[in-house]
Chain A
Amino acid sequence: MVEPVLALLSAIIVVLGIVMTVAKNPITSAFSLVALMLTLAGVYAAIGAHFVAALQAIVYAGAVMVLFVFSIMLLNMNEEKSEINLESWRTYAGFWSVVGLFLGLAYAFFQWAGESHGPRPGPWSISAIKEHGGNVVALSGVLFSEYYIQFEVISLLLLVAMAGALVLAKRKVD
Chain B
Amino acid sequence: MTLFDIIALLLKLVFVLAVVLNAVPVVIWFERRGSAWMQGRVGPNRVGPFGLLQPVADVIKFIFKEDFVPKEASKFYYHVAPMIAAVAPFAAFAAIPFGSFLAIGGQQVPLQIASLDIGILSVLAFAGLEVYPIMLAGWASNNKYSMFGALRGSSQMVSYEIALGLSLVSMLLIYGTLNLTEMVVYQDQLMFGFMPRWGIFLNPIAFLIFLIAIFAETNRLPFDLPEGDAELVAGYHTEYGATKFAMFFFAEYVAMIMASSLLITLFFGGYALFPGLETVIAGIAGALQLSPEWTQNIRAAFQVAGFIFKVGCMMFFYVWVRWTFPRFRFDQLMNLGWKILFPLALVNLLFVALVIAWMGG
Chain A residues engaging chain B, CB cutoff 8 angstroms = 25, 27, 31, 34, 41, 50-51, 54-55, 57-58, 61-63, 66-67, 69-70, 73-74, 134-136
The answer on a CB contact under 8 Å between A136 and B155 is no
Tell me the minimal C-beta distance from B189 to chain A in angstroms.
Answer: 22
Pick the contact of A51: B121, B124, B131, B136 (CB < 8 A).
B121
Q: Which residues of B contact A41 (CB under 8 A)?
A: 125
| A70 to B154 alpha-carbon distance, docked (Å) | 8
B150: interface (CB < 8 Å): yes
B158 touches A66 (CB 8 A): yes
**In the assembled complex, B132 has its CB within 8 A of some CB on chain A:** yes
Beta-carbon contact of B118 and A50 below 8 Å: yes
Residues of B within 8 A of A (CB): 74, 77, 116-118, 121-122, 124-126, 128-129, 131-132, 135-136, 138-139, 147, 150-151, 154-155, 158, 161, 178
One of B125, B147, B158 near A54 (C-beta < 8 A)? B125
CB closest residue in chain B, given A134: B117
Given contacts A61-B125, A61-B129, A62-B129, 16 further A-B contacts (CB under 8 A): A27-B74, A27-B136, A27-B139, A31-B132, A41-B125, A50-B116, A61-B128, A62-B124, A66-B158, A70-B154, A73-B150, A73-B151, A134-B117, A135-B118, A136-B118, A136-B178
Listed by A's residue number, 26 A-B pairs whose Cβ atoms lie within 8 Å are A25-B74, A27-B77, A27-B136, A27-B139, A31-B136, A34-B132, A50-B118, A51-B118, A54-B118, A54-B122, A54-B124, A54-B125, A57-B129, A62-B131, A62-B161, A66-B131, A66-B135, A66-B158, A67-B158, A69-B135, A69-B154, A70-B155, A73-B150, A73-B151, A74-B151, A136-B178
9 closest A-B pairs by CB: A62-B128, A54-B121, A57-B125, A134-B117, A58-B125, A50-B118, A54-B118, A54-B125, A51-B118
Q: With CB as the reference atom, state the residue of chain B lying closest to A38.
A: B129
Identify which of A31, A58, A61, A67 gathers the most chain B CB atoms within 10 Å of its CB: A58
Chain A residues with CB under 8 A of B151: 70, 73-74
Q: What's the least CB distance linking B242 to chain A, in Å? A: 24
Complex CA gap A51/B125 in Å reads 11
CB distance from B23 to the nearest CB of A (A): 26
Are B117 and A50 in touch, CB under 8 angstroms?
yes
Q: Which residues of B contact A67 (CB under 8 A)?
A: 158
Q: Find out whether the CB atom of A57 lies under 8 angstroms from the CB atom of B128.
A: yes
Q: Smallest distance from the beta carbon of A57 to chain B beta carbons, Å? A: 4
Instruction: Find out whether the CB atom of B158 lies under 8 angstroms from the CB atom of A73.
Output: no
Q: How far is the CA of A57 from the CA of B151 in the complex (A)?
A: 22
